[in-house]
Amino acid sequence: MKAVCPGSFDPVTMGHLDIFRRAADHFDEVIVLVTGNPNKHSGLFTIEERMELIRKATADVPSITVDWWGGLLVDYTNANNVNALVKGLRTALDYEYELPMAQMNRRLSGIDTLFLLTDNKYGYISSSLSKEVAKYGGDVRGMLPDVVVEAVQAKYRELEE
Ligand code: PNS
């Protein structure tokens, strides 16, 4: 059975990583799918940089692979025989955001979205908050995988130059 964990992952956090790893306990193959258009640079990291950071952070789990997609998610899942989408839920706000997407994807292709409850130690962590903390020199160790901590710090140093 094959699952996709979709998202923008700009950048991947410890919370995302925990969901990928737990998904890999339930599926033979987990594809982390970075969505977006590689030709339109929006966000801190390019699509390729985000993919590379996820590859490095999941290198010890062979059943996790990384791909990208610039179109409708269900076109990717149909073309690749994906059995389910897997996402994390932190709060009721996530639920409100995710519910219509899960229902839309099910209407469009019949695919189910399975939700894993975020581990409470990662419940308040998001890509955007950790970027804001890092931008002003705050300590983001433990919120982001080590390789991402270094990459975010390097990116902000680069932007300051
Ligand atoms: O990390 P994000 O930004 O919350 O992820 C949202 C994402 C990428 C899952 C959603 O925007 C998406 O599925 N985009 C692909 C285009 C698509 O299929 N849109 C309709 C979703 S119902």
Domains in the chain, CATH or no CATH each: 2-160 (3.40.50.620)
User: Tens digits of per-residue pLDDT, 19-73?
Assistant: 999 999 999 999 999 999 878 778 999 999 999 999 999 999 999 999 999 999 9
Residue nearest to atom 16 of ligand 1 (CA): 72
What atom in ligand 1 is closest to the CA of residue 105? 22
Per-residue exposure over 147-156, b if at least 16 CB sit within 10 Å of its own CB, e if not = bbbebbeebe
Taking the C-alpha atoms of residue 109 and residue 125, their distance in angstroms, rounded to an integer, is 31
